[in-house]
Amino acid sequence: MREARAMNQQDTIISLTETYSAHNYHPLPVVLTKGEGVWVWDVEGRRYLDCLSAYSALNQGHRHPAIIDALTAQAGRITLTSRAFHNDRMGKFLQLLCKTAGMEMALPMNTGAEAVETAIKAARKWGYTRKGVPQDQAEIIVCNENFHGRTTTAVSLSSDPDTRRDFGPFTPGFKWVPFGDAAALAEAMTENTVALILEPIQGEAGINVPPDGYLRECRRICDRHNALFVVDEIQTGLGRTGALFCHQHEDGADPDMMILGKALGGGVYPVSAVVSSREILGVFQPGDHGSTFGGNPLACEVARASLRVILDEGLAERSRYLGARLYERLRSLNSPRIKEVRGRGLMIGVEIDKAHGPARPICEALMRRGVLCKETHEQVIRLAPPLVIQESEIDWLGDQMAAIL
């Protein structure tokens, strides 16, 4: 009886949601109502280990006390001023952000896609005003199978037909090269190229890790052609891959501009930013660009606390060694259903052999064992728990994967 009623409550909520919400997602049939650290609970009180972390927006875990404290304290003072006035929180946040990123200047926005748009505008304006590219001739190189968000320009960067279908016409000025192929990149450069934009590991494409030395080569090729090297670290940044920023796994791969989002808001509030040099972000003049909510004091306090947690709790280091532990465990399963395990730190993709069907039923089976994760690109299960996860919880996750695979 209890079980039947539980099904009912969950199904009622799902059907209400499906009635009034556009169907632009295909969620697993679980309704969450509470979260703490690495754990979430559904409406019937069942507990799950969150192995998606809202696509790495929850690196600090659910409701980290320091982040919630910052949120509530700031909510008691002032939440929004607009950029028509100064607020007393933005400078402190951007100072910490720039120091952490090793950059000089930042421009705060809200969502990741908006920060991508900001980076594109900055690169184009830099191209016209500094590099001397003729008006409207700027080219930006991007990689096949990239993911940079869902706005019209971000889908214009996509090479995926499903992402683009029925959404054209697209923003012009982009060129595609295969991810991981430095020779193709060198070939694609022209005197009108203003930037290369890439993810240091492609997340949504199924955790694609480029060959060693690729990022350093990209840096060199951009230098040779006076083009900006821009990394989208919205998903890979802030400790996820076992370094503070993923490009730091390689020496000599420092970008000109870095795009951040997701975990910058600590899983609490949308905060994104572009960080770069004075020379590059200095191209913006009053009236060029903006956002009503970008840089609001609530966002700045939440983001400053979110950064502090990552730094103070050594989350990048945790991600490195706990990721290695999980990776070894998964490799040692030697399961015929696993085609490949790949990734860095706690950003791990488990590719399921097509002969054994798609990844979705495995995600559903994991859900029934108390593990929440989501397939990406049909065959890949992404394992990306919050970085505050304990060693014993990693081992428990390994046990659940072993039981199913």
CB of 112 to ligand PLP, least distance (A): 2
- The minimum distance between CB 133 and ligand PLP, in angstroms, equals 25
> Of residues 42, 125, 147, 229, which has the active-site annotation?
147
Mark whether 125 is an active-site residue: no
Rounded CA gap, 231 and 142, in Å? 10
Q: What share of the chain is helix, strand, coil (3-state, %, to 5)?
A: 40, 20, 40
Chain length of the chain: 405
Q: Which CB atom, from 196 or from 401, has the smaller least distance to ligand PLP?
A: 196
Considering the complex, what minimum distance in angstroms separates the CB of residue 116 from ligand PLP?
Answer: 6
Cβ(294)–Cβ(83) below 8 Å? yes
Measured distance CA(389)–CA(379) in Å, rounded: 25
What distance in Å separates the CA atoms of residue 364 and residue 370, rounded to the nearest whole number? 10
Shortest CB 147 distance to ligand PLP, Å: 5
Structural tokens at position 41: 């609970």
The CA distance from 217 to 219, in Å, is: 5
Minimal distance, residue 261 CB to ligand PLP, in Å:
5
Question: Is 147 in the active site?
Answer: yes
Q: Choose between 42 and 232: whose C-beta lies nearer to ligand PLP.
A: 232
Q: Rounded to 5 degrees, what angle do the CA atoms 127, 130, 133 make?
A: 45
Q: Residue 143 Cβ, how far from ligand PLP at the closest point, in Å?
A: 11
The residue ranges that bind ligand PLP (CB under 6 A) are: 55, 111-113, 116, 147-149, 199, 203, 232, 234-235, 261-262
Minimum distance from residue 154 beta carbon to ligand PLP (Å): 7
Q: Enumerate residues 6+ apart whose C-beta is below 8 A from 199.
A: 143, 146, 147, 148, 231, 232, 233, 235, 236
The 3-state secondary structure of 146-161, one letter per residue: CCCCCCHHHHHCCCCH
- Tell how many helices (H) and how many strands (E) occur in the chain: 14, 15
Q: Which two tokens stand for residue 4?
A: 């039947």
Burial of 386 (0-12, 13-18, 19+ CB in 10 A): buried
* CB closer to ligand PLP, 42 vs 114: 114
Comparing CB distances to ligand PLP, the nearer of 48 and 55 is: 55
Minimum separation from the CB atom of position 87 to ligand PLP (A)? 22
Q: Which two tokens stand for residue 142?
A: 């991007």
Q: What distances in angstroms separate CA 64 from CA 93, 104, 319, 343, one per listed residue? A: 18, 28, 17, 26
93 part of the active site: no
Between 111 and 306, name the residue whose CB sits nearer to ligand PLP. 111
Identity of the amino acid at 9:
Q
The CA distances from residue 158 to 37, 222, 390, in Å, are 34, 21, 37
Catalytic option among 229, 232, 256, 293:
232
Choice among 50, 229, 262, 374 that is catalytic: 262
Whole-angstrom CA distances from 398 to 78, 105, 329, 358, 374 are 45, 41, 6, 20, 16
Could you tell me if 282 and 289 are in contact, meaning their C-beta atoms sit under 8 angstroms apart? no
- What whole-number distance in Å separates Cα of residue 185 and Cα of residue 182? 5
In the complex, residue closest to ligand PLP by CB:
112
Catalytic residues: 147, 232, 262
